[in-house]
Every structure is written in structure tokens, then in C-alpha cells.
């Protein structure tokens, strides 16, 4: 039985509610009046229910789809402006005891090179990432009680935060590790993590059990209830996502929104971010073996409708997506992207040959961070290295109220410009520096509050004089 605030996976992600919603959406897919009504409601920026969003996704009338794209662009601009937050993944270890059939880390894979970084190797990787200009990382690891226990993850976080190299610093460490206990979530919170990220992979329990035949991850309820335990452990910024391509996109799109609704209804704060990875080729994984690949055009609609349905939630895409698809997705609601990423363990220091492969999947965007920053500037997006909210204690509902009160323009815009300025001074090529400085000059004028504008100007001059790490 569907119960949005239940703590039991099969009640807040109810299979029958998802199937009823799919049916309802199909029956109403040609109902123009209903689609118009839903779009009208969405314009108030208070979000949509999973049922309403599912109707939008089923609609195949070109003019209404164009209206959805247009609305997604407007909402993105209203809440996020044209800022794009930059991050990079850091793979700590690919030892894993799970049996996920789509992931090359699965325990039975004998062809992948297994590797776990020592604390000294982490230092070297972090220095390489700092030298690119990164300030925000997403830690990634397989699940292995002996090689990657929680103590290893905690020690690694401590190491990462302690490294100060030239003007570099990692100011926010997000963590993407397997579902764990309330006690371990508390320890992660105490270690000062930013967002705890865990992808559901699929919300379809039957299919989930086929895709995860062995290992601790095979427990659907334990995995699905992980964010509830994270919240109990005091982590109020959680990031959810599904791996598109495993299950029909219709099922997982609805499940994803139901999960977001559950967190909002139960804890008063929805997910901080939603990730939308698509399945990629990898060491012993062939995407042709999976029958639910999501075509680009459908994927763009999924992203746009998520933007409309949960206007305050950050949306992330990784280098799994190509430059071309990223350009489109940035317009439709994405607020965070990775850049210069390596998905291999130790890949920032040592470029691997194909034989040495330890990577999790093949990336589609191979550009350097500086190339991506230049590309964003050319497309009139502001590359932002901001980590201010979490460092100022604006997490969970305090972050949401900042966004809901529209203080973005006086707070997030100056923070984006200040961190871009640091990047330009310390890491950019001369040509990127020139383009970036021009953008800063232009956009400083659009900070509405006079006092905030003057303070930002003062901080920008101080960065020119060699000072760092200012924030609103």
C-alpha cells in the first residue's frame, strides 16, 4: 500500500502506485487540456506530483513538448541563473564484493585491474586535482568490508581536507559510497562531508534483484531506505539518482520523483541533488546487453520535466554524457557538471593504458577542465567553484529557504564570480582568463543589492592582490 511518509521501501516506493501512474499517464497522454493545466501549475514553481510529471513525460505533441523545454529553461534561470557548479570524481578503490551486472567492479570480474589508493596516493591525486583548479570532489568507491571499510573512507576524507597546495584546497567532499548504517552516516557527517550521494540504480524491486544478484547491495529494502538512515544520522544534503538504461525510463522516472516526495514529506527537505547517469560501456560490460537504453530526445525531456517537477533541486550530469548532449542539458535544468574527470583509480596522476584499465566506465567527454570552463564561458554559463552554502551551514532546509526566497542573485551570483576569479588567477590559460574577466566585469553589475555588489567588488580586488576564499 502506498504511504508517502512510511519508512518502509515498498510503501513509499509502491510498485502498484507506479504502475497505476504509468497507466494514468498513458490514458491522458493526448489530453491537451490536462497537459496545459499541469504546465500552468508548474509555472508557479511549486513543483509537480509524480502523476502530473508522468503525464508530461507521456505527452508527444511537439508544441507542448517545446513549451516544457521553454518552461524548464525559465525555471532553471529563475533559481540557478546561468551558474554551473564544477566538480570532479575521485575514485578511491575499485575493490567490490557486490555482483551488480552492469558495473565492471563486480566481484567476479577478473579482467579489471584492482586498485586501492594509499593515503599518500590520495595526496598526489588531490594535488593533481587542485592544480587543475577543482575545489569540490565526489568520492567514489566499491563496497568491500576489508579493503574499503568506513574507517578508510573517513581517513581519506581527513587527508583530502588537510591538503593545502599552493592556493589550492578541496572545500567540499561529497561522498558516493554504498548504503550503510545510521552510525556510519553520523560518522560521515562528523567528518564534514557535503552531500551523501547514492544512486538507486532502479526502483523496480524485481528487476533490482536480478541486476544485483549477490552481495550486500542485493538487499532492495536496505538500499532504498539508505537516505532515511542518512537523514537519521544527521546528513541533510542527500543526492539521489537512477542509472538510466537498466529499467524502463517510465518506471524509474516515477520512482525517482516518488523518492524525492517521500524525503520532502517525511523530513521537510527533499533531495539536495538528483543525478541522471546513463549506462555506459565499461571493462566487461556491453550496453547492448541491456534493453532499456534511453534515446537522447527522451533523455532531454526527462531532464526538463525533472527540472519542472522539483524546481529547487540541483541536477547533476557527469562525463558519461558527450559535449553535444551536455550543451543541450545545461539549458534544460542541469546545475552541476564534472570536468576533466578520470574514472580510474589513481587516474589523475597516472594516465592508464587500456591494459591497465581500472576505470568504472568509459567517459564521453574527454576535455580538460580549462577547455570546459572556456566552453561554458562561450555559451554564457558562469563556471562556479562555489562551496559557500555548506561551509556557512546552509544545508538542508536552510539551503532550500535561500533558494525559495530568491536570494540567489545577491548571494550565489557573487560567490560564483569570486570563485571563478580565483580559478582565472590561479589555473586558467591566458585566453580563458581574458574571457572570464570580461564575464565577471559584465555580471558584477547585475548583482541587485548595492551593498552586496560593493562587497563583491572589494573581494574581487583582494583576490587580485593575492587573497583567497571569500564568500557570502
- Nearer of residues 335 and 360 to ligand SAM, judged by Cβ: 360
Q: Given candidates 97, 103, 231, 376, which one binds ligand SAM under the rule CB under 6 A?
A: 103
Q: Which residue do the cell numbers 543589492 mark?
A: 449
C-alpha cell at 385: 567553484
The residue range among 127-135, 138-146, 432-440, 452-460 that interacts with ligand SAM, by the rule CB under 6 A, is 138-146
Q: Quote the least distance from Cβ 440 to ligand SAM, whole Å.
A: 35
Binding of ligand SAM by 311 (CB under 6 A): no
- Nearer of residues 42 and 178 to ligand SAM, judged by Cβ: 178
Binding of ligand SAM by 177 (CB under 6 A): yes
- Nearer of residues 251 and 312 to ligand SAM, judged by Cβ: 251
Binding of ligand SAM by 389 (CB under 6 A): no
CA dihedral 106, 276, 135, 310 (to 10 degrees): -140
For ligand SAM, the nearest residue by Cβ is: 103
What phi, psi does 427 have (nearest 5°)?
-135, -20
Binding of ligand SAM by 140 (CB under 6 A): yes
Q: Given candidates 52, 58, 143, 236, which one binds ligand SAM under the rule CB under 6 A?
A: 143
The residue range among 59-67, 172-180, 228-236, 375-383 that interacts with ligand SAM, by the rule CB under 6 A, is 172-180
Binding of ligand SAM by 142 (CB under 6 A): yes
Rounded CA-CA distance 55/28 in Å is 7
CA distances from 275 to 122, 198, 272, 314, 363 (A): 25, 9, 10, 9, 16
Rounded CA-CA distance 329/340 in Å is 18
CA distances from 37 to 42, 53, 64, 242 (A): 9, 12, 11, 28
Q: Given candidates 161, 199, 222, 290, which one binds ligand SAM under the rule CB under 6 A?
A: 199
Q: Given candidates 52, 125, 201, 237, which one binds ligand SAM under the rule CB under 6 A?
A: 201
Binding of ligand SAM by 282 (CB under 6 A): yes
DSSP-assigned states of every residue in 99-129 = --TT-TTSTT--SSPP-B--HHHHHHHHHHH
Site for ligand SAM in 179-198 (CB under 6 A): 198
Rounded CA-CA distance 381/378 in Å is 8
Count of residues interacting with ligand SAM (CB under 6 A) = 21
Rounded CA-CA distance 76/71 in Å is 8
Binding of ligand SAM by 95 (CB under 6 A): no
* Residue in 129, 243, 223, 128 with CA at minimum distance from that of residue 177: 223
Site for ligand SAM in 204-263 (CB under 6 A): 217, 243
Rounded CA-CA distance 434/423 in Å is 12
Interface contacts to ligand SAM, rule CB under 6 A: 102-103, 140, 142-143, 176-178, 198-199, 201, 217, 243, 277, 279-280, 282, 285, 320, 360-361
Amino acid at each position: 500500500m502506498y504511504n508517502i511518509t512510511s519508512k518502509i521501501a515498498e510503501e513509499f516506493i509502491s510498485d502498484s502506485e507506479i504502475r497505476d501512474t504509468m497507466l494514468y499517464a498513458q490514458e491522458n497522454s493526448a489530453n491537451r487540456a490536462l497537459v496545459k493545466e499541469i504546465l500552468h501549475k508548474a509555472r508557479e514553481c511549486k513543483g509537480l506530483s509524480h502523476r502530473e510529471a508522468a503525464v508530461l513525460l507521456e505527452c508527444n505533441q511537439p508544441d507542448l513538448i517545446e513549451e516544457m523545454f521553454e518552461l524548464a529553461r525559465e525555471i532553471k534561470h529563475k533559481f540557478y541563473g546561468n551558474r554551473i557548479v564544477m566538480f570532479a570524481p575521485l575514485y578511491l578503490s575499485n575493490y567490490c564484493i557486490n555482483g551488480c551486472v552492469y558495473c565492471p567492479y563486480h566481484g567476479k570480474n577478473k579482467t579489471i585491474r584492482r586498485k586501492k589508493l594509499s593515503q599518500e596516493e590520495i595526496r598526489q591525486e588531490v594535488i593533481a586535482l587542485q592544480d587543475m583548479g577543482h575545489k569540490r570532489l565526489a568520492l567514489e568507491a566499491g563496497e568491500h568490508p576489508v579493503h574499503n571499510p568506513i574507517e578508510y573512507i573517513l581517513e581519506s576524507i581527513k587527508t583530502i581536507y588537510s591538503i593545502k597546495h599552493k592556493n589550492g584546497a578541496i572545500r567540499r567532499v561529497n561522498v558516493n559510497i554504498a548504503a550503510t548504517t545510521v552510525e556510519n552516516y553520523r560518522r560521515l557527517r562528523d567528518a564534514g562531508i557535503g552531500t551523501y550521494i547514492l544512486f538507486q540504480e532502479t526502483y523496480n524491486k524485481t528487476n533490482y534483484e536480478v541486476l544485483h544478484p549477490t552481495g550486500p547491495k542485493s538487499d532492495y529494502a536496505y538500499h532504498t531506505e539508505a537516505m532515511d538512515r542518512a537523514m537519521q544520522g544527521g546528513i541533510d544534503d542527500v543526492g539521489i539518482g537512477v542509472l538510466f538504461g537498466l529499467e524502463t525510463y517510465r518506471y524509474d522516472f516515477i520512482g525517482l520523483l516518488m523518492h524525492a516526495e517521500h524525503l520532502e514529506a517525511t523530513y521537510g527537505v527533499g533531495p539536495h541533488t538528483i543525478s541522471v547517469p546513463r549506462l555506459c560501456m565499461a571493462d566487461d560490460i556491453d550496453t547492448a546487453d541491456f534493453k532499456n537504453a534511453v534515446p537522447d530526445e527522451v533523455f532531454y525531456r526527462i531532464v526538463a520535466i525533472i527540472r519542472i517537477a522539483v524546481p529547487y533541486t540541483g541536477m547533476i550530469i557527469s562525463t558519461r554524457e558527450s559535449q553535444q548532449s551536455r550543451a543541450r542539458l545545461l539549458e534544460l535544468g542541469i546545475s552541476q557538471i564534472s570536468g576533466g574527470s578520470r574514472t580510474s583509480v589513481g587516474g589523475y596522476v597516472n594516465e592508464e593504458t587500456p591494459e591497465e584499465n581500472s576505470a568504472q566506465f568509459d567517459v564521453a567527454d574527454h576535455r580538460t577542465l580549462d577547455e570546459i570552463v572556456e566552453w561554458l564561458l562561450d555559451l554564457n554559463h558562469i563556471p562556479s567553484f562555489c562551496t559557500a552554502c555548506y561551509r556557512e551551514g546552509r544545508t538542508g532546509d536552510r539551503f532550500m529557504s535561500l533558494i525559495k526566497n530568491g536570494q540567489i542573485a545577491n548571494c550565489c551570483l557573487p560567490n560564483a564570480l569570486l570563485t571563478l576569479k580565483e580559478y582565472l588567477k590561479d589555473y586558467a590559460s591566458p585566453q580563458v582568463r581574458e574571457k572570464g574577466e570580461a564575464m565577471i566585469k559584465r555580471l558584477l553589475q547585475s548583482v541587485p543589492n548595492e551593498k552586496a555588489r560593493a562587497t563583491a567588488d572589494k573581494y574581487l580586488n583582494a583576490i587580485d592582490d593575492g587573497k583567497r576564499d571569500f564568500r557570502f
